Amino acid sequence: MDIYVQGQPPVLGTVSIKEIEDKAREAMKDHIAAYMYTFGSAGTCSTDVANKRAIDSWKIVPRMLVGATNRTLETTIFGVRYPSPLFVAPIGVQGILHADGELATARAAGNVGVPYIMSTAATRSIEDVAQANGPNAHRWYQLYWPRTSEITLSLLNRAKANGFTALVITLDTMLLGWRPHDIETSYLPFGYGVGIQVGTSDPVFMKRHNLEPRQGQSTVFPFEPEKIREAALKRGDERVAKEMGLGMAWLGEVNSGVFRTWEDLRFIRDNWDGPIVLKGIQRVSDAEKAIAHGMDGIVVSNHGGRQVDGAIGSMDALDKIMRSRKVRAAQQAGKLTVLFDSGIRTGSDVIKALAIGAQGVLIGRPFMYGLAIAGQEGVEQILMQTICDLNMTMGLCGYSDINEIIGKRDEILMKLEYKL
């Protein structure tokens, strides 16, 4: 109501996600490779399209004359009461879009009250992100599973020591997907020392290179790889060359091409005493295996279409998974938490995911649009407008408690089949 009463437009000038996306591209027009690296998808981008189509194929059927005057979005996940079911998705190398990178996003999440999931590919250290997020904020750590046990243990210990309460293991990025836009421009920030700050602040990794771990790091914005390459190769700048060498070494740890197996999860279980969530689940059989291997949760996700071209839409995957009796029984017994990711843009999208069976929803690209345009304030607007949209739409659909929606697919939604 403040927007209407005060007559002041939003920080981003609009609440239209499409217009915000266009503004983000305009803000990055002089660094379009960075924009494409962040927002582009694999191959022909067909999986990104499938995500949107899958969400749009479900239609909400509102109910009327229900007492929804007073509404609550509060929900409990892993025994923690959260103000809404929204989570900040783990996205790396935020420093290529804004000078404050992950610090801006972590502060925004802390201010709004949305849990922040930090990426291993961050341009800031675990310690610095935790400090920016705040002592009372909720945060989880997303693990790109390192090649060696020593570094894996170091990251787990650092995350736990800095207040990250749940561990999210991303399963679909053991190596980078086929992304033509990055290949055409040879764009890989890690190779230039950007997005490796979790590594360069790690005592085990840095000891291997006879260096001290670094805290308080910040990458240079804007990120201009051609200048770094010129400094290392043409001018013979040894410092820059060493940073590039560290970048490739860290990439060899966290995007090593080593594919883990279900049996490998025992190592993580033995060394992490909080909830473990597997991100990247798309098959019913994999969701059921997660239960069998004692995992606490899954994120139904295809990495926003950034890894496998021609893959199933994430909402379609969620629907199939939630039709599994084993999954529903484990969820109802409190043994499995189901989260959703890939394609969320509006409050209505969140409602659809919850109705199909998700208990929480990760938002990704939209907050990065906000970051590119206006830093912390831009991220805060995206989070707040999504929560406000969810609150208002939930009431207009005839529901006063977000928990009344979870798993009520057949009551709330109707599926429309699109013919190609």
77 domain residue, yes or no:
yes
Is residue 303 annotated as part of the catalytic site, yes or no?
yes
Distances (CA, A) of 156 to 162, 220, 259, 262: 10, 27, 19, 19
Q: Confirm or deny that 98 is annotated as ligand binding.
A: no
Domain CATH code at residue 28: 3.20.20.70
Q: Confirm or deny that 364 is annotated as ligand binding.
A: yes
Burial class, 186, CB count within 10 angstroms (exposed 0-12 / middle 13-18 / buried 19+) = exposed
339 domain residue, yes or no:
yes
Q: Confirm or deny that 142 is annotated as ligand binding.
A: yes
Q: How confident is the model at residue 8 (pLDDT cuts 50, 70, 90)?
A: confident
374 domain residue, yes or no:
yes
Q: Confirm or deny that 187 is annotated as ligand binding.
A: no
Please give the Cα distance from 373 to 378 (Å, whole number): 6
* Average pLDDT for the chain: 95
Distances (CA, A) of 121 to 14, 106, 170, 212: 30, 15, 12, 20
Please give the Cα distance from 359 to 330 (Å, whole number): 13
Q: Confirm or deny that 62 is annotated as ligand binding.
A: no
Q: How confident is the model at residue 205 (pLDDT cuts 50, 70, 90)?
A: very high
- What would the pLDDT profile of 65-105 be if each residue is shown by its tens digit? 999 999 999 999 999 999 999 999 999 999 999 999 999 99
Q: Confirm or deny that 91 is annotated as ligand binding.
A: yes
What's the DSSP call for residue 379?
A: H
**Angle separating helix axes 46-56 and 314-321, nearest 10 degrees:** 60
Please give the Cα distance from 5 to 26 (Å, whole number): 30
| Res 229: pLDDT | 83
Q: Confirm or deny that 92 is annotated as ligand binding.
A: yes
415 domain residue, yes or no:
no
| Res 5: pLDDT | 54
As for how many domains the chain has, the answer is 1
The residues that bridge with 117 in the sheet, in sequence order, are: 140
159 domain residue, yes or no:
yes
- What would the pLDDT profile of 322-363 be if each residue is shown by its tens digit? 999 999 999 999 999 999 999 999 999 999 999 999 999 999
367 domain residue, yes or no:
yes
290 domain residue, yes or no:
yes
Retrieve residue 372's tokens: 């590119």
Contact 24, 372 (CB under 8 A): yes
Q: Which domain holds residue 334?
A: 1-184+257-410
- What would the pLDDT profile of 266-301 be if each residue is shown by its tens digit? 999 999 999 999 999 999 999 999 999 999 999 999
**One of 98, 181, 293, 303 is an active-site residue; which one?**
303
Q: Confirm or deny that 279 is annotated as ligand binding.
A: yes
What phi, psi does 416 have (nearest 5°)? -110, 130
Please give the Cα distance from 100 to 194 (Å, whole number): 13
- What would the pLDDT profile of 12-56 be if each residue is shown by its tens digit? 999 999 999 999 999 999 999 999 999 999 999 999 999 999 999
Q: Confirm or deny that 303 is annotated as ligand binding.
A: yes
236 domain residue, yes or no:
no
pLDDT over 90 percentage in the chain: 89
